Amino acid sequence: MNLKILIVTFLILVTSSSFVHADTEIHPTVSLNYDIEPDVFMPGDTGTVKVTLQNMASGEMYVQEDDETLDMNAYIASASLDGNSAINILDKSYTDIGLMGPGDALELTFNIEAKDNASNSVHFLDLELVGGSNMYDLNYRIPVKIDDRNLKVIVSDVPSNLMREISTVGVEVVNRRPNEVTSVIVSPSGKDMVFSPAEFFIGSISQGNKSSAAFTLNTINCDSGKQDIEFEITYFNGDNVHSTETISKTVDIVDKSPLIFTSIETTKAGNTYTVSGDLNNFGVTDAKNVIISIHEKDNVTPVQPYSSYFIGTLEADDFSSFELSAKVHSDEINAIPIIIEFRDTDNAYTSMTKEISISEKSMISSSEEKGSSTGSWILAGVIAIAIAALIAYSWKKRKEDVAQDPDEVPEDDDEE
Q: Is residue 57 part of a domain?
A: yes
Mean pLDDT across 290-303: 91
Q: Is residue 68 part of a domain?
A: yes
Q: What pLDDT score was predicted for residue 149? A: 96
Q: How far, rounded to the nearest angstrom, does the alpha carbon of residue 338 sit from its chain's CA centroid?
A: 30
Q: What pLDDT score was predicted for residue 397? A: 63
Residue 413, pLDDT > 90, answer no
Q: Is residue 39 part of a domain?
A: yes
What pLDDT band is residue 319 in, cutting at 50, 70 and 90?
very high
Where is average pLDDT lowest: 38-42, 222-226, 278-282, 397-401? 397-401
What pLDDT band is residue 3 in, cutting at 50, 70 and 90?
low
CB-CB neighbours of 328 under 10 Å? 19
Buried/exposed code over 275-302 (b: 16+ C-beta within 10 A; e: otherwise)? bbbebbbebebbbbebebbbbeeeebbb
Percent of the chain scoring above 90 in pLDDT: 51
Tell me, yes or no, whether 160 and 287 share the same domain. Answer: no
pTM: 0.71
Most confident of 26-40, 128-142, 212-226, 353-367: 212-226
Domain limit, last residue, from 146, 168, 194: 146
Q: What is the pLDDT of residues 169-191, one digit of tens each?
A: 999 999 999 999 999 999 999 99
Q: What pLDDT score was predicted for residue 8? A: 43
Residues 6+ apart with CB under 8 A from 29: 7, 8, 9, 10, 55, 56, 57
Q: What pLDDT score was predicted for residue 366? A: 42
Q: What is the pLDDT of residues 11-62, one digit of tens each?
A: 333 333 333 444 445 555 678 899 999 999 999 999 999 999 888 777 665 5
Tell me, yes or no, whether 186 and 118 share the same domain. Answer: no
Tell me, yes or no, whether 250 and 263 share the same domain. Answer: no
Q: Rounded CA gap, 244 and 186, in Å?
A: 10
Tell me, yes or no, whether 77 and 170 share the same domain. Answer: no
Domain count across the chain? 3
Tell me, yes or no, whether 6 and 142 share the same domain. Answer: yes
Q: Rounded CA gap, 107 and 94, in Å?
A: 11
Q: What pLDDT score was predicted for residue 380? A: 66
If one compares 1 and 236, the residue with the highest pLDDT of the two is 236
Domain limit, last residue, from 146, 171, 200: 146
Tell me, yes or no, whether 186 and 59 share the same domain. Answer: no
Mean pLDDT across 237-248: 95
Tell me, yes or no, whether 10 and 82 share the same domain. Answer: yes
Q: Rounded CA gap, 47 and 38, in Å?
A: 6
Q: What pLDDT score was predicted for residue 105? A: 87
Mean per-residue pLDDT over the chain, rounded: 82
DSSP-derived pairing of the beta strands 40-41 and 138-146: parallel
Q: Rounded CA gap, 174 and 153, in Å?
A: 6
Q: What pLDDT score was predicted for residue 74? A: 77
Tell me, yes or no, whether 193 and 311 share the same domain. Answer: no
Residue 357 sits in which domain range? 259-365
If one compares 206 and 374, the residue with the highest pLDDT of the two is 206
If one compares 33 and 408, the residue with the highest pLDDT of the two is 33
Q: What pLDDT score was predicted for residue 16? A: 36
Residue 128, pLDDT > 70, answer yes
Residue 378, pLDDT > 70, answer no
Q: What pLDDT score was predicted for residue 131? A: 77
Q: Is residue 397 part of a domain?
A: no
Q: What is the pLDDT of residues 82-118, one digit of tens each?
A: 999 999 999 878 888 888 888 888 899 999 999 999 9
CATH code for the domain in which residue 333 is found: 2.60.40.1230
Tell me, yes or no, whether 39 and 87 share the same domain. Answer: yes
> What SS3 state is found at 71?
strand
What pLDDT band is residue 382 in, cutting at 50, 70 and 90?
low
Percent of the chain scoring above 70 in pLDDT: 77
